[in-house]
Structure 1
Amino acid sequence: MPEPVVPSLDPLQSLREEFRSHLETFYAQLKLAPPYESVEKAIRTLTTAVHALPKPDQARLSADPVQRWAQFRQAFDQSGLSKKHRGIIAGLARNRSALNLPPEYDHFLGLFNA
């Protein structure tokens, strides 16, 4: 008997969930409470930006981690997350080697050094 087919998430839903996961990891590793309203705003910002893209660009975004992280960074910045906990995160970012974050998170950390 064939196994049931599990419907895959649509690409936008997958991007939203990936972004939310990255935000949770980012704040957890910094040992900071995420600013929940701004996190939700960042996810809405990402959703709006991706919806505005033509379908071929949305497909490329789903397949290309470099483009995804660029889009995540833009949503992070435009939503105001880069202004929350600014002093604390800027201080932590100065000693990057002490943070237990993969290099991709430099996309977010770089906004605090600007």
Structure 2
Amino acid sequence: MPQYAAIIFASDVDPTKPEAADMMKDYAEFHDGAQAVIRGGAALYPTATATTVRVTGGKGGDIVTSDGPYAETKEALTGFYLIECADLDEAVKVAARIPGAWDGAIEVRPVVDFGQ
């Protein structure tokens, strides 16, 4: 069965802080209801903790890092789920139940199977 990455773009909040407790309850409810298709995933710390890495000059070039995310946006990449669904239609239905879809967006993208 194909797998899909459900990439969550939502408000940039720290899921470990007390003020995120209600949101985390919604995610726990989603997780409980979608256990049959969830194959993995993780929440991410806020973008302030991000480090962006680039290599100048291509392979073997100088490593350059900068604090913060790759792109500055209103909605941040806050986490993802790896889900296994029969097809894209089912994956979209699952993604619509992820709490981040209610005030942000979920990008659903097929995962390449390299046969491992």
Q: Pick the TM interval, shorter chain.
A: 0.3 to 0.5
Q: Which has the higher contact order (CA 8 A, sep 6+)?
A: 2
Task: Name the structure with the higher helix share.
Answer: 1
Q: TM-score, normalised by structure 2?
A: 0.34
